[in-house]
Amino acid sequence: MTTSPWQQELKKCVKCGACMAVCPIYRQTGREEMVARGKLNLIERLNDKNELPPGWIEAVDLCLLCCSCEENCPKGVKITEIIADARYRQTEQLGLNPIKKSAFSLLKNRFLSLPRFLKAGSFLQWLLWRRLPRHSGLVRRLPLPGLDDKTVIPALPQKHLDDYLKKRQTPTSNLKPVIYFPGCATRYLYPQMGLDLLYVLELLGFQGVVPKELNCCGMVTWGAGDQKSNQELKQRNLEVFRKHSDIKEIVTGCASCGHALKEYEDLPQECEILDISEFLFRHREKLEELVGTDKLEKKITYHDPCHLRKGQGITSQPRWLLKLIAGENFIEMRHPERCCGAAGTFGLSHKEISREILAEKAHDTDATGAEIVTSGCPGCLLQLTEGAVVADSKWQAEHPISLLADLLRKGVR
Partner 1 sequence: MTGPVNPIRNQFIEELKQSGFTDKQIVVADESRACYGYDATRQSADPMLVLLPENGLQVETALQLAAKRKLKIFPRGAASGMSGGSIPSSDGIILSLTRMKQILEIDQENMIATVEPGVITGELQEEVGRLGLFYPPDPASLAFSTIGGNVAENAGGPRAVKYGVTADYVMGLEAVLVNGETIRSGNKCVKSVSGYDLTSLLVGSEGTLAVITKILLKLLPAPETVKTSLLAFPSMTAAAHAINAMFKNQIEPSTIEFLDHHSINAVRDGLPFSLPEEADTVLLVEIDGTATGVLSQSQKLKELFKDDALLLIEAQNESEREQLWIARRRLSPAIANLAPHKINEDIAVPRSAIPEVIARLENLSEKIALPIVCFGHAGDGNIHVNVMLDKDDPDQARRGHQAIDEIFAVTLELGGTLSGEHGIGNTKSAYLDKEWNPATIATMRAIKRAFDPDNRLNPGKIFQQLERYL
Ligand X SMILES: Cc1cc2nc3c(=O)[nH]c(=O)nc-3n(C[C@H](O)[C@H](O)[C@H](O)COP(=O)(O)OP(=O)(O)OC[C@H]3O[C@@H](n4cnc5c(N)ncnc54)[C@H](O)[C@@H]3O)c2cc1C
Which positions touch partner 1 (CB under 8 A)? Answer: 14-18, 20-21, 30-33, 37-38, 41-42, 45-46, 53-56, 59, 74-76
Report, in this order, helix, strand and coil percent for the chain, each rounded to 5: 55, 10, 35
Phi-psi region of 225 (alpha: psi -120 to 50; beta: other; left: phi over 0): left
Query: Rule CB under 6 A: is residue 28 a binding residue for ligand SF4?
Result: no
Q: Are strands 176-181 and 206-209 parallel, antiparallel or unpaired?
A: parallel
Residue 79 interaction partner, one of ligand X, ligand SF4, partner 1, none, beta carbon < 5-8 Å per kind = ligand SF4
Residue 33 interaction partner, one of ligand SF4, ligand X, partner 1, none, beta carbon < 5-8 Å per kind = partner 1
Nearest to partner 1 of 33, 294 (CB atom): 33
Query: Rule CB under 6 A: is residue 18 a binding residue for ligand SF4?
Result: yes
Nearest to partner 1 of 50, 125 (CB atom): 50
Residues 158-187 that bind ligand SF4 (CB under 6 A): none
Query: Rule CB under 6 A: is residue 16 a binding residue for ligand X?
Result: yes
Tell which residue, 157, 151, 152, 147, has the closest CA to residue 137: 152
Sheet hosting strand 137-140, strand order edge to edge: 129-131, 137-140, 152-154
Query: Mapping DSSP to helix (H, G, I), strand (E, B) and coil, where does residue 255 land?
Result: helix
Tell which residue, 249, 270, 164, 166, has the closest CA to residue 205: 249
Beta carbon of residue 74, minimum distance to ligand X (angstroms, whole number): 7
- Rg of the chain over Cα atoms, rounded to whole angstroms, equals 21
Nearest to ligand X of 16, 128 (CB atom): 16
DSSP assigned state of 292: T
* CA dist 317 → 81, 123, 304 (Å): 26, 37, 11
Nearest to ligand X of 17, 292 (CB atom): 17
Using CB atoms within 10 Å of the CB of residue 282, give its burial: 0 to 12 exposed, 13 to 18 middle, 19+ buried: middle
Residue 68 interaction partner, one of ligand X, partner 1, ligand SF4, none, beta carbon < 5-8 Å per kind = ligand SF4
Residue 201 interaction partner, one of ligand X, partner 1, ligand SF4, none, beta carbon < 5-8 Å per kind = none
Q: What mask, x for binding ligand SF4 by CB under 6 A, covers residues 42 to 71?
A: ---------------------xxxxxxx--
Nearest to ligand X of 79, 251 (CB atom): 79
Binding site for ligand X (CB under 6 A): 16-17
